[in-house]
Amino acid sequence: MGATDFVYVCRVRSGGERETMEKRVLRSQAWFGGQDKDGFIHRSWMRNQGFPGDVFDGRPVIGICNTWSELTPCNAHFRELAQKVKNGVWEAGGLPVEFPVTSLGETNMRPTAMLFRNLASMDVEESIRANPIDGVVLMCGCDKTTPSLVMGAASCDVPAIVLSGGPMLNGRYRGQSIGSGTDVWRFSEAVKAGTMTAQEFMDAESCMSRSAGHCMTMGTASTMACMVESLGLSLPGNAAIPAVDSRRGALAQETGRRAVEMVHEDLLISKILTREAFLNAIRANAAIGGSTNAVIHLIAFAGRVGVPLTLEDWDRYGRDVATIVDMKPAGRFLMEEFYYAGGLPAVLWKLAQHNQLDGDALTVNGRTIGENVKDAPNWDSEVIRDDERPLVESGGIAVLRGNLCPDGAVLKPSAASPSLMKHRGRAVVFESIEHYKERIDDPALDVDETSVMVLKNCGPRGYPGMAEVGNMGLPSKLLARGITDMVRISDARMSGTAYGTVVLHVCPEAALGGPLALVREGDWIELDVEARRLHLDVDEAELFRRRAEWVAPQPAFTGGYQSLYVKHVLQADRGADFDFLVGCRGHGIPRESH
Ligand code: FES
């Protein structure tokens, strides 16, 4: 059976009218269409779920790729949401088949959920290709569940549509809104500074996560939900609808319907993930003040579909875009208010009005992104700011270069302190995160607010998995003096909910012998964000001597997945994907199993 086989069918459109259309014979028919022993096997076992025989008649089989797990609390409501998707698929004449894939919960997984993003993407890719699936609904929520599903589907190049689980309602503590992650960091520093008691800290715990959904700050989950909407991978409005809002369920049903139509239209994910779509997403990230993690994930997406995308693109295309969404961690509000204000369509419409959106980019609903967001209203100019008073004039991601990061490093200006954007200070060096924890609150630590905190061996290979530890908390003795920010540099990532003048993703990482590995206590370091420069003020001859003395850290594991990971993971500037996973392997039909 080839991809060019067609049959003629009668299709009932949403409005009730009928049309005769040419329909491709879908890949699922390679399983369900045969009248032989293999067709019997494929259909018969499926029928134990109570499917009538006519569901195997050639209709689109829609895989509902579900990251539900009770260990991923942000996605714990996904079984009910999947039911809504199924309703939509049935309604549009498809056959829904829900399947589980590895679920990555940010708050529980150690040493870091990022270690498993590529593993989960393999699970998604192979699950799609190995099964009778014609198109997929990707059910994404917690941070890494979005990139792992998009990467897997991209490498199969099937019709794919993202349904996000939606953010939690606002946290509320003592009459004030509190945001996931952001206020955890703030409270924990307040306890160290002595301005919050341990009991108050414990009380706040039950006030933060009040409903189903993912982090409701503009952390990585919300950012990635905005990224997939900007890329055109979800229906308009998907990013911001709260998880418990009835409109999330309605969107799930519409997503299921649309997945069926996408299969009929052969609207492959590669038709959506164009370079123009990625540049739109980069600009959208600047406008929302999104997470630095989006840099790594989008470069990995682009690698899967063969679209060139570099760190320079992030700097170049985001630099002139103002951050207009006033949300934590950079600003004041949370996703609930963002939704009520108009959500991402309102932001994209503002970008379009400034010629900062390529309106011709195609989206999953078959229309262009320009058509989708035209005249999208902004109902609250405190949340989505007016042009005259952006949150940050020049948002985006600053990509730094210099002898400390020859292959680049990133900093999020909207989360940094303006006073530290140009800074020269002495290095206080931590060889590992454990070394940092041992020393940071030592009263004898030689550190002041002008120091530059340097953390090594937390990159893709070094941790392994590139943990979110780059926003190291400040020393207690400085917090007690009211110091709230210092320059911090590492090869780690940081949570999208975090803030500070934090240089991240230093490439090459220390564990590979990058220049970061050579920094010693007391070295002078210069940061100049405007000039995009990060410089270790140590002469070449001395660096040469240090390099000769450098000994690579020994990994703490002896086998298993982590060995595979460190052997194949690429550096952050290449999306931290596995070298053998880059690219699209298509959705060809594997040989029979019996
Ligand atoms: Fe799941 Fe933040 S912990 S989205």
Query: Which residue do the tokens 């779509």 mark?
Result: 277
494 token code pair: 């940081």
CA atoms within 13 Å, Cβ hemisphere of 485:
15
CA of 217 to the centre of ligand 1 (A): 10
pLDDT of 3 reads 39
Ligand 1 binding pocket includes 498 (Cβ within 6 Å): no
| Residues of the chain predicted below pLDDT 50 | 1-4
* Per-residue DSSP letter, 429: E
Q: How far is the CA of 295 from the centre of ligand 1 (A)?
A: 18
pLDDT at 24: 80
Which ligand 1 atom sits nearest the alpha carbon of residue 75?
Answer: 1
Which of 397, 572, 351, 384 shows the shortest CA–CA distance to 496? Answer: 397
d(CA 92, CA 253): 10
CA of 292 to the centre of ligand 1 (A): 15
Give the tens place of pLDDT for each residue, 412-461: 998 899 999 999 999 999 999 999 999 999 999 999 999 999 999 999 99
- Which atom of ligand 1 is closest in space to residue 219's alpha carbon? 2
Give yes or no for residue 106 CB within 6 A of ligand 1.
yes
Atom of ligand 1 nearest to the CA of 497: 2
Would you state the pLDDT for residue 497? 86
- C-alpha to C-alpha distance for 345 and 368, rounded to whole angstroms: 13
What atom of ligand 1 comes closest to residue 222's alpha carbon? 4
Task: Say which DSSP state 525 is in.
Answer: E
Element (H, E) at 182: helix 182-193
pLDDT for the residue 557: 79
- Residue 181 Cα: closest atom of ligand 1: 2
Ligand 1 binding pocket includes 113 (Cβ within 6 Å): no
Q: What is the structure's pLDDT at 394?
A: 86
Residue nearest to atom 2 of ligand 1 (CA): 215
Q: Is 573 in the pocket of ligand 1 (CB under 6 A)?
A: no
How far is residue 573's CA from residue 296's CA, in Å, rounded to a whole number? Answer: 7
Count of other CB atoms within 10 angstroms of residue 87: 16
- Crossing angle of helices 275-288 and 293-305, rounded to 10°: 170
Question: Rounded to whole angstroms, how far apart are CA atoms 410 and 293?
Answer: 10
pLDDT of the residue at 4: 40
Parallel, antiparallel, or unpaired for β 95-100 and 61-66? parallel
pLDDT score of 2: 39
If you ran DSSP here, which 8-state letter would residue 578 be given?
B
With tokens 């509190």, the residue in question is 178
214 lines ligand 1 (CB under 6 A): yes
Distance of CA 57 to the CA centre of its chain: 37
Cβ(142) – ligand 1 distance below 6 Å: yes
Which residue's C-alpha comes closest to atom 1 of ligand 1?
142
Task: Report the C-alpha gap between 495 and 517 in whole angstroms.
Answer: 23
- Exposure string (b/e) for 35-62, b if CB count within 10 Å is 16 or more? eeeebeebbeebeeeeeeeebbebbbbb
- Residue of 521, 514, 590, 582 whose CA lies nearest to 552: 514
Structure tokens at 125: 């890719």
Atom from ligand 1 closest to the CA of residue 74: 1
Structure tokens given for 330: 């950079």
